[in-house]
Structure 1
Amino acid sequence: MVSRTTRQWNEVAQDRIIEMAWEDRTPFEAIEFQFGLKESDVKILMKKSLTWKSYVLWRQRVENCKTKHASKRNGAICRFKCSRQKAISNNTISKR
């Protein structure tokens, strides 16, 4: 059985996961919904994919960003998609 952290993503999917992780308005719940990766799995992927300094900067940014966690978000924000999300194939979120 292949775990979520050791699964080999194709380059496009991995780039999209990293892009979504860097976006301030995309919560980890959206990444889990679309790719099945929990927050801890995203952290592992980011640590493997980024340079150490970039990873540290990303972690600081995530910790200070209230919109990255659905539980910390303002109740008025009821979406988790970016403006470019419709252009991505296999995305069920934008089709709702």
Structure 2
Amino acid sequence: MQENIFTQIEIDRIIEMAWEDRTTFDAIKLQFGLNHQEVIELMRKEMKASSFKMWRKRMTNRTTKHAALRDRTTTRFKCDRQRSISNNKITKR
């Protein structure tokens, strides 16, 4: 994993984005500079083992998490509740 130092607020946001169905790993890379494997490593480190296993099971074969695998009709990657999150750089564009 890169030697990025994240604040707790940023770590919480990365975890939240990783759990969101429509937020791609590409969006996480764009905002925080973490690739798919680095997100997995961060999740493993920051979450309880049971929560991490649940997340991995949920993410397995989920095409909405990978931009290249998405259905072309899915044009957004933001959760409709995401507007209320103040530390999200993407929503401020």
TM-score, length-scaled by structure 2: 0.86
Matches for 1:46-57 after TM superposition, within 5 Å: 46-57=43-54
Q: Does 1:43 align with 2:60?
A: no
Q: Once the two structures are superposed, what CA deviation does each residue of 1:7-47 show, in whole Å capped at 9, x if it has no partner?
A: 22111111000000011111101111111111011001000
Structure number with the bigger relative contact order (C-alpha 8 A, sep ≥ 6) is: 2
Shift of 1:95: 4.0
| 2:8 aligned residue | 11
Unaligned ranges ≥5, structure 1: none
Amino acid corresponding to residue 27 of structure 1 in structure 2: T
Asked if structure 1 preserves the Cα contact closer than 8 Å seen for 2:28 and 2:34, the reply is yes
Unaligned ranges ≥5, structure 2: none
Asked if structure 1 preserves the Cα contact closer than 8 Å seen for 2:22 and 2:76, the reply is no
Alpha-carbon distance between aligned partners in 2 of 1:91 and 1:57, rounded to the nearest angstrom: 25
| Cα pair distance change 1:39/1:19, threshold 3 Å | same
TM-score, length-scaled by structure 1: 0.83
| Cα pair distance change 1:89/1:54, threshold 3 Å | same
Identity in percent: 49
How many residues were matched structurally? 93
Q: Once the two structures are superposed, what CA deviation does each residue of 1:29-72 show, in whole Å capped at 9, x if it has no partner?
A: 11111111110110010000011121111111111322111111
